[in-house]
Amino acid sequence: MTLLVASDLDRTLIYSAAALALGTPDAEAPRLLCVEVYESRPLSYMTETAAGLLAGLARTAAFVPTTTRTRAQYGRIRLPGPVPEFAICANGGELLVRGESDAGWRRGVERTLAAECAPLDEVRAHLVRTADPAWLLKERTAEDLFAYLVVDRPLLPGGWVEELTEWARARRWSVSLQGRKLYAVPEPLTKSAAVAEVARRTGASEVLAAGDSLLDADLLLAADRGWRPGHGELADAGWTAPHVTALETRGVLAGEEILRAFAGAA
């Protein structure tokens, strides 16, 4: 029997400096391990205890990082333990096998999106046209699959995200606001589809999952058991499911609690 553990990374297992202290006073902050450096600056962390748990888990189960990051952004991360054989990037658009992109998987994704969704150029143009330079900091596309904005979140006007969500839904796209990033992602581009393919290849008999955002909901629903932290879009919406444990813990300690749950199941 093979256990597959598919987990979101940012604000689920690893945390930026801005996200570290959600609900944790400085005096109670745990010791941290830096797991990502960008332009010579430490960028992402997990607790030392979480690092030990992940290293142990990766030796007893098939651990699959499952992220909305691009391949380049994922490549900056150095997780403890053995390098995962499989990793999922671009919200399921890229399936990495021993670090290399699976070209066949990518071609299948492109065919599905072309047949079922409005094109990326149309959605990107709408994002840029409707965004206000007063709060728009950056606009980007990821792997030629989806678009995202970096925004000054306190300045976002009320109702703008809801209006964008309705516009996108009519074109089979979804919208997710995570910290300072607002994502517009084609609805068929899902983490769960890529995880199902990894489960097929590994012969996994059980799938565990964790995530914090609306883009993780399909992953959690498709898993046999799931966990979400006490922060993030899913927590803010009060989202859960019968087989999903809604933790109260927030911040970097939530990542530690999730890994304890994974380790216990393994």
Specify the residue for token string 């699976």.
102
Specify the residue for token string 């959600």.
22
Three-class SS state of 43 = strand
Three-class SS state of 208 = strand
* pLDDT, tens only, 3-49: 999 999 999 999 998 877 666 677 777 899 999 999 999 999 999 99
pLDDT at 19: 78
* pLDDT, tens only, 213-237: 999 999 999 999 999 999 999 999 9
Three-class SS state of 118 = coil
* pLDDT, tens only, 123-178: 999 999 999 999 999 999 999 999 999 999 999 999 999 999 999 999 999 999 98
> Region 116-124: what's the mean pLDDT?
98
For residues 175 and 33, what is the distance between their CA atoms, to the nearest angstrom?
32
